[in-house]
A and B are shown apart, each in its own frame.
Chain A
Amino acid sequence: QSVLTQPPSVSAAPGQKVTISCSGSSSKIGNNFVSWYQHLPGTAPKLLIYDNNKRPSGIPDRFSGSKSGTSATLGITGLQTGDEADYYCGTWDSSLSAGVFGGGTKLTVL
């Protein structure tokens, strides 16, 4: 059981929008920044969003992040088949002094 809760899977058609939720507790998401990663099997994970809602250079604005209380959300608009991947949220657990990830969400673009 992962420390942060994500839906196991989401799906949508090309061109549509999808959101992926990530919930935790006050010691995790509540008091720390959230980041999001895209992971294709056999490759290195890729940073999509950091500090809740900032995009690294090179990440298109189709990807967005938000946080409210002890939950965070990743949004992806204009879905493309190339977006099919596993998506993970991550943060720091202040009570454990340890990093934590969500269980991951598999995105299928129908």
Chain B
Amino acid sequence: EVQLLESGRSLVQPGGSLRLSCAASGFSFSSYAMSWVRQAPGKGLEWVSGISGSGGSTYYADSVKGRFTISRDNSKNTLYLQMKSLRAEDTGVYYCAKVGGWAPEGYFDYWGQGTLVTVSS
């Protein structure tokens, strides 16, 4: 059974940093691309970032480019999202999602339950 477990909810001040983790199990982690998707309060889904199975290719939404870094440790079956210079508009539920293929361009066939990130003073 595929399972994706994101790190616990967090409260961080504007301008601060935070690293999210997503522990994966139930599939060959290194064979699949992974992504982060978020949902701000009252808003729709927003794709944030994607990474190839090897970790050699990474992609970002314009809204987070230069502030967020996606990475993965295939030896630990874990996906990360390092977030810096956080803004109030980064507040939302962050989902870890498995892509149905090696490259990040595919569909998301499994999702984690999400972790709430609140950026507020």
Interface, chain A (partner B; CB < 8 A): 2, 32-33, 35, 37, 39, 43-47, 50-51, 56, 86, 88, 90, 92, 96-104
Nearest B residue to A3 via CB reads B47
A97 partner residues in chain B, CB cutoff 8 A = 59
Asked if A44 and B47 sit within 8 Å, CB to CB, the answer is: no
Chain B positions within 8 Å of A45 at CB level: 37, 45, 95, 97, 108, 111
Which listed residue, B45, B50, B112, touches A88 by the CB 8 Å rule? B45
A44–B111 touching, CB < 8 Å: yes
Tell me which of B104, B110, B111, B113 contacts A99 (CB under 8 A): B104
B95 and A44 contacting across the interface, CB-CB below 8 Å: yes
Are the C-beta atoms of B111 and A35 separated by less than 8 Å?
no
Set of chain B residues within 8 Å of A46, measured between Cβ atoms: 111
Give the chain A neighbours of B102 by CB distance below 8 A: none
Known: A50-B107, A98-B47, A98-B59. 18 other contacts (CB 8 A): A33-B106, A35-B107, A44-B111, A45-B45, A50-B100, A86-B44, A90-B45, A90-B107, A98-B50, A98-B61, A98-B62, A99-B35, A99-B104, A100-B47, A101-B45, A102-B44, A103-B44, A104-B45
B contact set with A: CB distance below 8 Å:
35, 37, 44-47, 50, 59-62, 95, 97, 100, 104-114
Closest Cβ neighbor of A86 among chain B residues: B44
CB distance from B44 to the nearest CB of A (A): 4
Between A and B, 26 residue pairs with Cβ closer than 8 Å are A33-B106, A35-B108, A37-B108, A39-B45, A43-B113, A44-B113, A45-B95, A45-B108, A46-B111, A47-B108, A47-B110, A50-B100, A50-B106, A86-B44, A90-B45, A98-B47, A98-B50, A98-B61, A98-B62, A99-B37, A99-B50, A99-B59, A101-B44, A102-B44, A103-B44, A104-B44
Residues of B within 8 A of A39 (CB): 45
B104 nearest in chain A by CB position? A99
For residue B107, which residues in chain A have a CB less than 8 angstroms away from its CB?
33, 35, 47, 50-51, 90
Chain A residues lying within 8 Å of B95, measured Cβ to Cβ, are: 44-45
